[in-house]
């Protein structure tokens, strides 16, 4: 049976229904407003992070450009063969960086997914390389590094993931990097050279490289450095000729640096200033991190 209601009761029922609708609509509106505020906050945070990232990249490029200007304007006499080769290796790394940068600009969609490897690290490597060369040759107008950073490191855990022995070797290398040690540069470079060799060997075992590239070029009966690099980049699906050229030149510049410091052709009796040692440490430390990321 249909319930009969008075006009007053019917009005109460309608008012109650409208009140429920209003409460529902208010709840929906609050939820939508809260969602929109969160979206706006997320967008603002993202845009802020993008601006900060772009600003930092611009600062890195400005520092690199300043280092390049100092490098190109230098009139350093380089009579010793090893020192000449060191400068040439720095120049070659700069050229390879420019070529890689051009490649990145022309292949943005391909390199965007690996922007750190293709862009950030190469910029950092080139800047560190030139700043160190300038510093070792008396033109230290690059970044000031806090002296307390000399014995600090972020690498040990990363190296342990590659090989437990590498972390120990790195600690030993840092121990030798003491301003009071007249052979600090030579001892440091002797230690870290083996770290780079081991990283390449772990990431690109000779047997694997020979299996993948049966006709690869050999050095002392083993796959040479370039084919090891090519193997590593291919396995990670990040290979390009420009990137391979840069990584090979980066390692070659480090090896020429090591030879130069081992020959004692820089500094007074092999002794270095604190900023020179700090830039040497940064050059090597960042390069090891780059190698572990490949």
Average pLDDT, integer, range 19-33: 82
* Residue 76 predicted with pLDDT over 60: no
| Cα angle value 22/27/30 (rounded, 5°) | 120
Kindly list the distances between the CA atom of residue 112 and the CA atoms of 116, 123, 212, in Å, as whole numbers in the listed order. Answer: 9, 15, 27
Output the CA torsion sign for 194, 96, 63, 253.
positive
Encode pLDDT of 239-294 as tens digits: 999 999 999 999 999 999 988 887 755 544 457 888 988 999 999 999 999 999 99
The answer to whether 288 and 160 are in contact (CB under 8 A) is no
* Alpha-carbon 41 to chain mean position: 29
Encode pLDDT of 43-52 as tens digits: 667 666 556 6
The answer to whether 294 and 232 are in contact (CB under 8 A) is yes
Beta bridge partners of 219: 222
pLDDT at position 94 = 93
pLDDT at position 205 = 95
User: In 3-state terms, the chain is what percent helix, strand and coil (to 5)?
Assistant: 75, 0, 20
How many whole angstroms separate alpha carbon 190 and alpha carbon 256? 12
How many whole angstroms separate alpha carbon 6 and alpha carbon 189? 98
* Residue 61 predicted with pLDDT over 80: no
pLDDT at position 145 = 86
Radius of gyration of the chain (CA): 29
Largest Cα–Cα separation, the chain: 113
Encode pLDDT of 211-241 as tens digits: 999 999 999 999 999 999 999 999 999 999 9
Q: What are the helix (H) ranges across 107-163?
A: 108-111, 115, 121-136, 156-162
pLDDT class for 97, splitting at 50, 70, 90? very high
Question: By CB neighbour count within 10 A (0-12 exposed, 13-18 middle, 19+ buried), where does 3 fall?
Answer: exposed
Number of other residues whose CB lies within 10 A of the CB of residue 259: 18
Encode pLDDT of 163-195 as tens digits: 888 888 888 888 888 777 777 878 888 888 888
pLDDT at position 46 = 60
pLDDT at position 162 = 80
How many whole angstroms separate alpha carbon 108 and alpha carbon 71? 29
| Three-class secondary structure of residue 140 per DSSP | coil
């Amino acid at each position: 049976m249909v319930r009969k209601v008075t006009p007053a009761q019917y009005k109460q029922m309608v008012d109650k229904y409208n009140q429920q609708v209003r409460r529902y609509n208010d709840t929906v509106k609050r939820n939508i407003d809260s969602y929109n505020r969160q979206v706006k906050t997320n967008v603002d945070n993202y845009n802020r992070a993008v601006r900060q990232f772009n600003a930092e990249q611009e600062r890195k490029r400005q520092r690199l450009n300043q280092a390049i200007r100092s490098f190109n304007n230098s009139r350093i006499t380089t009579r010793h063969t090893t020192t000449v080769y060191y400068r040439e290796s720095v120049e070659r790394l700069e050229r390879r960086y420019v070529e890689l940068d051009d490649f990145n600009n022309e292949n943005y969609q391909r390199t965007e997914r690996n922007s750190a490897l293709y862009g950030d690290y190469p910029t950092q490597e080139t800047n560190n390389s030139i700043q160190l060369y300038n510093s070792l040759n008396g033109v230290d107008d690059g970044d000031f590094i806090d002296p307390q950073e000399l014995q600090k490191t972020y690498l040990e855990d990363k190296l342990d993931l590659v090989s437990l022995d590498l972390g120990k070797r790195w600690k030993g290398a840092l121990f030798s990097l003491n301003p009071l040690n007249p052979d600090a540069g030579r001892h440091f470079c002797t230690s870290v050279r083996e770290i780079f060799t081991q990283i390449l060997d772990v990431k690109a075992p000779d047997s694997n490289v020979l299996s993948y590239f049966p006709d690869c070029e050999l050095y002392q009966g083993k796959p040479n450095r370039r084919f090891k690099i090519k193997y590593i980049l291919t396995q990670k699906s990040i290979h390009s000729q420009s990137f391979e050229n840069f990584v090979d030149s980066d390692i070659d510049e480090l090896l020429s640096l090591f030879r130069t410091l081992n020959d004692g052709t820089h500094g007074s009796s092999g002794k270095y200033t604190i900023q020179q040692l700090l830039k040497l440490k940064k050059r090597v430390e960042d390069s090891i991190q780059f190698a572990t990321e490949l």
